[in-house]
């Protein structure tokens, strides 16, 4: 298996998104103990990312992977049994069944009794 070469900026963004979601820069800077401006400098190629930072990011990713694995195990052990691939019907305010969002035309919300 071959992998495409990606830039340090792409690698940093990929790890940040996986760890902290869309707004990853501030939380990643905090987790690494650096200033947000420093992280921006790395991301914009103004400074090289020190090797130790990659080790720290790898540890953060490994920890997150363990946390997700434990959560998945707990979920599979204790969640109610649901058919694989199907979402349960959502319930509205008055406990009436509502179609999942994908079953409604775009832009329409469910009709609720007044």
Q: Which residues of 27-63 are buried (b: 16+ CB within 10 A; e: fewer)?
A: ebbebbebeeebbeebbeeeeebeeebeebbeebeee
Q: Which domain holds residue 15?
A: 8-76
| DSSP summary character for residue 101 | G
**Is 98 within a domain?**
no
Is residue 95, in this structure, part of any structural domain at all?
Answer: no
Q: Does pTM top 0.75 for this prediction?
A: no
pLDDT at residue number 91: 66
Q: Which of 35, 31, 3 is nearest to 18 (CA)?
A: 31
Residue 50 lies in a domain: yes
Confirm whether 92 is domain-assigned: no
The token pair that represents 62 in the structure block: 């490994």
| Domain contains 83 | no
Is the pLDDT score of 43 beyond 90? yes
Asked, for residue 100, whether it belongs to a domain, the answer is no
Q: What percent of the chain has pLDDT over 70?
A: 68
Q: What total number of domains does the chain contain? A: 1
Tokens of 80: 């109610």
107 in a structural domain? no
Q: Is residue 40 part of a domain?
A: yes
CA distance 96 to 20: 35
Q: Quick check: 38 pLDDT over 80?
A: yes
């Amino acid at each position: 298996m071959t992998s495409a070469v990606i830039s340090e900026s792409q690698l940093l963004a990929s790890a940040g998104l996986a760890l902290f979601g869309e707004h990853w820069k501030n939380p990643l800077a905090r987790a690494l103990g650096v200033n947000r401006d420093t992280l921006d400098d790395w991301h914009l190629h103004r400074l090289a990312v020190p090797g130790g930072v990659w080790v720290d990011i790898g540890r953060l990713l490994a920890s997150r992977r363990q946390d997700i694995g434990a959560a998945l195990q707990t979920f599979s052990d204790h969640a109610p049994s649901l058919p694989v691939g199907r979402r349960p019907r959502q319930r509205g305010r008055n406990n009436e069944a509502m179609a999942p969002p994908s079953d409604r035309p775009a832009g329409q919300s469910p009709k609720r009794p007044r």
